[in-house]
A = this chain, B = another copy of it.
Amino acid sequence: MSAGVNLKELAAELKLSPSTVSRALNDSYEISEETKKKVVSMAEKLNYQPNPFARSLRENKSKTIAVVMPERMSSFFAKVIDGIEEVTQQHGYHLLVYSTHEDVEREKKIVNLLMNGRADAIVMSVSSQTSDISHLTRLHDRGFPLVFFDRICPDIPTTKFITNDYESSFEGTKHLIQQGCRKIAFLMLSKELSITKERYRGYLDALKSAGLSPEPSLHITCAHEEEKNIEAIRNMLLSKERPDGIVSSVEKLALATYHAVKRTDIKIPEDLKIISFFSNLSIAGLLTPSLTTITQPAFSIGEECAKMLIKKLTKPRQPDLPNQVISIPSKITIRSSTIAV
């Protein structure tokens, strides 16, 4: 099909044995400089490319890392992958990328497929449906290198990368309160998710420390279709208990809120202030009014995941990935959507 020559043919051309050629190409100390030169130049001339599968079979590693995440159409995940790729590419690693589309069954299938060694490690952010984590436990129990980011599994003892969810949610909520909000809604993906729990906790604690009490009807969980989310938010905005502030724990629901507001007479920030965890800064600035964001360090999170794995995979006798949560802080950028008027 595609390839040029293989090792044996290259060796024949050079009138050397395959093993000598292999060593020369791998820059072994036991080969003379002279033959190394000859071998390398002939390899280039004949465009020799080592067969990755033969090598993987022999060495029992694939030089490949798998990324499993809930969706692609999100600037957060896109940036994380960019960060991962930036690091892995420098080390000659390849990236298999999978989207679960927020579906646990798909997530399980993908994870099970990856257990056969096709990838040397997995970087993962779980689906919003994931509550049974047996597929992930099994993976980890077998010693498969696994790191989580953003939507983590606290119960699996490995390294996880997150942003300071609790604190930034607390600060974001506090900011709304300082701007005069008294009835603050909270928008979330599923309640199962680690990020939801932490961000919710931050929100609740901020309310509490201001003497405000949470109102259950103002806590909205994400549905599958965008349209349903928009309508749910709109209904909330028009209800008796209507909020004067919103904390959105996820990008998608902030956009849904803007859509919902468009369908009412409500004005941001006059009648309603909103802050959201968000990664697409260009869009945040273009929304009308521009959106106050809790900006997650997506690219850095990706880089850190990759660095951690590369260290584990390239150093010979590396210990297991430590059971720790590494937090990279978000930054709140105040724009028009929360300005008191």
Binding site for B on A (CB under 8 A): 1-4, 49-54, 56-57, 60, 62, 64, 72-73, 75, 78-79, 81-82, 85, 94-99, 113, 115-118, 142-144, 226, 255, 258-259, 262, 280, 282-283, 285-288
Given known contacts A78-B72, A81-B72, A57 and B53 CB-to-CB distance under 8 angstroms: yes
B62 pairs with A73, CB closer than 8 A: no
- A sample of 14 cross-chain residue pairs with beta-carbon separation below 8 angstroms, ordered by A number, consists of A2-B116, A2-B144, A3-B115, A49-B116, A51-B116, A51-B117, A52-B116, A73-B79, A82-B99, A85-B99, A95-B96, A255-B282, A259-B282, A262-B286
Q: Is the contact region of chain A dominated by helix, strand, or loop, or is it mixed? A: mixed
Q: Whole-angstrom distance from the CB of A97 to the nearest CB of chain B?
A: 4
Determine which of B1, B95, B280, B288 lies in contact with A288 in the assembled complex, contact meaning CB atoms within 8 Å: B288
Q: Please give, as numbers and ranges, the residues of chain B lying within 8 Å of A116 by CB-CB distance.
A: 2-3, 49-52
Beta-carbon nearest neighbor of A54 in chain B: B57
Q: Measured between C-beta atoms, what is the minimum distance from A44 to chain B in Å?
A: 12
Q: How many copies does the complex hold?
A: 2
| Residues of chain B contacted by A60 (CB below 8 angstroms) | 1
Complex contacts, A73 vs chain B, CB 8 Å: 75, 78-79, 82, 280
Which residues in B have their C-beta under 8 angstroms from that of A287?
286, 288
Contact, CB under 8 Å: B142 / A118 = no
Taking the closest CB of chain B, its distance from the CB of A244, in whole angstroms, is 22
Complex alpha-carbon distance, A64 and B97, angstroms = 11
Q: How far is the CB of A265 from chain B (nearest CB, A)?
A: 16
Contact of A117 among B1, B96, B259, B285 (CB under 8 A): B1
CB-nearest residue of chain B to A144? B2
Q: Which residue of B lies closest to A143 (CB)?
A: B1
Residue of B nearest to A62 (CB): B53
Among candidates B2, B50, B117, B144, residue contacting A52 with C-beta atoms closer than 8 Å: B117
Name the one of B1, B57, B288 contacting A57, with C-beta atoms under 8 angstroms: B57
Nearest residue (CB) in B for A73 is B78
Residues on B with C-beta less than 8 A from A258 are 286
Q: B96 and A96: CB pair below 8 A?
A: yes
| Contacts A51-B116, A53-B56 supplied; 6 other A-B pairs, CB < 8 Å | A1-B60, A73-B78, A73-B82, A94-B118, A97-B97, A259-B286
